Amino acid sequence: MKTYNNLITSLSSKQVFVFGSNPMGINGNPKRRTGGAALWALENAGVKQGEKMDNTVSSSGKAYGITTVKRPGARRSLTKQQIEENIRKFYQYARKNRNKQFMVAYTNIGNIKTLNGYSGFEMGNMFRKASPRIPSNVYFNSNFVNMIK
């Protein structure tokens, strides 16, 4: 698996920011500074507020939203199996777009919960179970990759 270090602070023209999203088009809350990676996608990767990032690439082409909740704050509103299926859809998209580098924004490790209510261990397991062969153009944070192995 390919990795990157630290947090993503910018994207090259080949890179796509991959984050956990919801199908409602609520991509972070700039006023309250909430929304984690969805807020970063809104402010830095060309995602628009109201743009439905439901297992799809943004209109800017700079972000991909993996649906992990039904709506913001609805922790564990999708099952692990549903999220695994959404990760499979992401992997299929990455395989069709080999000229891009997909930078997965998950950094939670161990039992630290993500905004979707699942721990780093659980999310890593979902990324692993979604496909026996992770596409070679998908990059994970160097800390999070240990949750996948």
Determine the distance from the C-alpha atom of residue 23 to the mean position of all C-alpha atoms in its chain, rounded to a whole number.
13
Q: Is the pLDDT of residue 149 over 90?
A: no
Q: Could you give the CA distance from residue 51 to residue 65 in angstroms, rounded to a whole number?
A: 10
33 assigned to some structural domain: yes
Residues 17, 105: contact at Cβ < 8 Å?
A: yes
**Domain encompassing residue 116:** 12-148
Q: Give the total number of structural domains in the chain.
A: 1
Which H, E and C letters describe 88-131, residue by residue?
A: HHHHHHHHHCCCCEEEECCCCCCCCECCCCCEHHHHHHHHHHCC
Mean pLDDT of 88-99: 98
55 assigned to some structural domain: yes
The count of other CB atoms within 10 Å of the CB of residue 43 is 13
Q: Is the pLDDT of residue 101 over 90?
A: yes
75-102 burial code (b ≥16 CB/10 A, e <16): eeebeeeebbebbbbbbebbeebeebbb
44 assigned to some structural domain: yes
pLDDT of residue 32: 93
pLDDT of residue 6: 94
Q: What is the CATH number of the domain that holds 83?
A: 3.40.220
2 assigned to some structural domain: no
Q: Could you give the CA distance from residue 83 to residue 76 in angstroms, rounded to a whole number?
A: 10
